[in-house]
Structure 1
Amino acid sequence: MCVISGTHGVEGFCGSGAQIALLEDAAVIAAVEKYGVAVMFYHALNPYGFSYCARTNEDNIDLNRNFRDFSRPLPVNAAYREVHDFMVPSTWPPTPENEARIGAYLSTRGEAALQAAVSGGQCDCADGLFYGGAAPAWSNGVFRDMLRRHAASRRRFAWIDFHTGLGPYGHAEKIHSGPNDAAMIARARAWYGIDVTSFHDGSSTSAVLTGVNYEAPLEECPGVECTGIALEYGTLSLLETLQALRGDAWLRNHPDADAKTRAAIKRRCRDAFYCDADDWKAMVYDQARDACLQAITQLAAAPVPH
């Protein structure tokens, strides 16, 4: 079992906190020893973003849109092209005219359409939001190397990837992390409960995504039974989260910003993906612990594939 934090940099405050707590949890340690399950923690998959309170990496790449075949033509997100100019403002704070353009889009298309256009991923605008890159990122290669060395020889492999920024405050949505494969989705629901969602069938709060990191274990571990989920914890509202990302995109494009503006933008970005409150932290760990114990138990109980 692999427990991953920091795929989206600043979201690593949540995942790394859970990882530390898991290392000190007697029940988790006892279950690992009882069932003989190997557990690996991947801390800060995106170390740059974690270090600088950014969701993206050193090249503004969203790692969870970067796992794709770059030898083939990259997909075009026409919906993102339509919103890029006003979603990545030229001034900060945004002008009233800029905010009015977003308001007009929301009034005619709706919040779900904006989420799909922006968060689905795009490979055209390197200075934009949810940019998937033009080549594999460094973290992509390191993750794949880890999988080849530690997971490819296993019979079964499970991963839990920690994310934040979608859904109700403190609630962990268990999102199937894998392709639109009925058997894989059914296995995830058998392991973690019928409330496991999937963006493939519209049951998730997430938009449909491309270039997600689940591609790596499927490609690097052929013949291994793979079962993955993302734990997506709610923080602020969708529009508040997008506003924080807009500010951070502006800051990346304006490195000469004054210290006060920079600090305010970074604090807003951190607060959008990490709630520094005891109740939220307790909710994070309670749900993380349950999911990890379920994975350990199911890895031990699952039949060996033939």
Structure 2
Amino acid sequence: MNDTQVIDLFSPDYAQARRKFMQAAQARGLSVDSHMLPLPGAQGEVLATDVVLDGPADASRMLIVISGVHGVEGFCGSAIQTGMLRMGGAVLPSDTSVLYVHAVNPYGFSHLRRATQENIDLNRNFVDFTKPLPINSGYGEIHDSLLPTQWPPLPDNEARIAEYRERHGVRGLQRAISLGQHSHADGLHYGGLEPAWSNKTFRSILRRYATQVRQLASIDIHTGLGPYGVGERIFASMDEDPAVLASGRRWWGELTSVTTGTSTSIPLTGPIQCALTDECPQARHVGICLEYGTYPMERVSAAMRAEHWLHRHGSGDTAQATGIQQEMKDAFYPDEPDWKHTVWQQGSQVCLQALRGLQEDAALPSLAT
């Protein structure tokens, strides 16, 4: 793709992103399976998780490309999905399909939130709700300091967070904030008390399209952590078989891990990859989260706190509310040509590597289906 074509993959809002994705599918003669969310978008537009299957429905090998788990992060993933569709089906190996799941959290994508309409962080919602829910006592200690009644926060409020960091370290503070919590429904990274609409919808999509798959690859696209424009490849398979990790490294090269502490992320309660394990037990799953850095963590964290503060308390100051929403978008979607080009270059590369990897592993005697 030339420079103009790459920039055109990206959109300024959810409505345009959805339209480009659907047009790319339709230009290829591919049908779009739309799961409608019965709520209006920020501009009154229809909200939906849209699914496109590229390749044979009975393929034994499948790559799933996921965007918008954290709504506002969907600008990036949507562009990669649209670009892959525009590239055409010639890249597909035999007996292989690609399943594009566009805007898993359409409400957050449209309304510039990471959370869903239920204020749920989806990557903390894929837990077994029949069992006792995970406990994150650290979050309870700092909830009111993270989202105080007044914004910007007062110095003594920030001092309480700094004191927690002094006692538990930078990683300890990150864990308390980001691990996931089920105790404060109006808080950050809330995991919910039941499966969210997006959780149930994603599981139904897997049951419809992926029950016959024997070899499964997944790429879950996110933004907000790490150096500007760098797509960190975080190993994201629940299978602890060393051979699965070996396949991931063979396909994609160096991978980081939340369990060993080599990733900018930390272990999460209930990530979306749990659904792949639950709904596709017949498949060998090799997956990554592709996490693109945007701006320094201080800026990203402040934007996320401010947006959650606005959701929790509201603001009578229209200019303040608009500014908070714009900063939230900017923090997770840098509207800059250099960032967009590197996003596409790495994203398309990772997708093509996964397709080659599925084909190569199929030729290994120990993995042949």
**TM-score computed with the length of structure 2 as normaliser:** 0.79
AA partner of residue 259 (structure 2): H
Shift of 1:242: 1.3
How many angstroms apart in 2 are the aligned matches of 1:16 and 1:134?
Answer: 29
What is aligned with 1:13? 75
2-structure distance, mates of 1:4, 1:211: 16
Query: 1:270 Cα shift?
Result: 0.7
Report the CA distance between 1:217 and its aligned residue. Answer: 1.0
Match of 2:252 among 150, 173, 192: 192
Whole-angstrom CA distance in 2 between matches of 1:105 and 1:200: 23
Q: Are 2:216 and 1:154 aligned?
A: no
Of 169, 189, 205, which aligns to 2:228? 169
Whole-angstrom CA distance in 2 between matches of 1:247 and 1:120: 19
- Identical counterparts, % of pairs: 47
Are residue 183 (structure 1) and residue 237 (structure 2) matched? no
Structure number with greater CO (CA < 8 Å, separation at least 6) is 1
| Mapped pair 1:278 → 2:340 | no
Query: Which amino acid in structure 2 is aligned with residue 191 of structure 1?
Result: W
Question: Within the alignment, does 1:236 sit opposite 2:330 as a pair?
Answer: no
Residue 124 of structure 1: aligned partner: 183
Is 1:38–2:97 an aligned residue pair? yes
1:109 Cα shift?
3.5
Alpha-carbon distance in 1 for matches of 2:318, 2:368: 56
Q: Does structure 2 retain, via aligned residues, the 8 Å contact 1:251–1:257?
A: no
In the alignment, the residues of structure 2 paired with residue 133 and residue 305 of structure 1 have an alpha-carbon distance, to the nearest angstrom, of: 40
Q: CA RMSD in A?
A: 1.5
- Distance in 2 between the 1:14 and 1:22 partners? 13
Q: Is the 8 A contact 2:232 2:290 kept in 1?
A: yes
Query: What is the CA-CA distance between 1:262 and the residue it aligns to?
Result: 1.3
**Aligned match of 1:61:** 120
Match of 1:112 in 2: 171
Change (3 A) 1:161 1:94: same
Q: Superposition pairs for residues 76-115 of structure 1, below 5 Å?
A: 76-115=135-174
Gaps (5+ residues) in structure 2?
Answer: 1-62
Q: Which range is displaced more, 237-246 or 209-218?
A: 237-246
Greater alpha carbon shift after TM alignment, 136-145 vs 13-22: 13-22
Q: CA deviation at 1:209?
A: 1.1
Report the residue type matching 2:229 in the other structure.
Answer: G
CA distance in structure 2 between the aligned counterparts of 1:256 and 1:96, rounded to whole angstroms: 20
Are the aligned partners of 1:225 and 1:305 in contact in 2 as well (CA < 8 Å)?
Answer: no
- Aligned 8 A contact 1:244 1:265 in 2: yes
Which residue is equivalent to 2:359? Answer: 300
Q: Deviations over 1:27-50 (max 9, x none)?
A: xx3221x43421111110000100
Number of the residue aligned with 2:194 = 135
1:70 is matched with 129
Q: Quote the offset at 1:245 in angstroms.
A: 1.1
Q: Which moved more, 1:77-86 or 1:129-138?
A: 77-86
Q: What's the CA shift for 1:108?
A: 4.4
Quote the offset at 1:256 in angstroms. 5.0
1:106 shift after superposition:
3.4
Question: Which letter maps to 1:22?
Answer: M
Residue 316 of structure 2 is aligned to residue 254 of structure 1: no
Alignment partners' CA distance in 2, 1:64 and 1:16 = 18
3-state SS of paired residue (2:97): coil
Asked if 1:49 corresponds to 2:111, the answer is no
For residue 56 of structure 2, what is the aligned residue in structure 1? none
Task: State the Cα distance separating 1:179 from its structure 2 match.
Answer: 2.3
* TM-score w.r.t. length of structure 1: 0.94
TM-aligned CA deviation for residue 121 of structure 1: 0.8
* Cα shift at 1:120: 0.9
Q: Which residue of 1 aligns with 2:42?
A: none
Q: In the alignment, residue 277 of structure 1 is paired with which amino acid?
A: E
Pairwise CA distance, 1:289 = 0.9
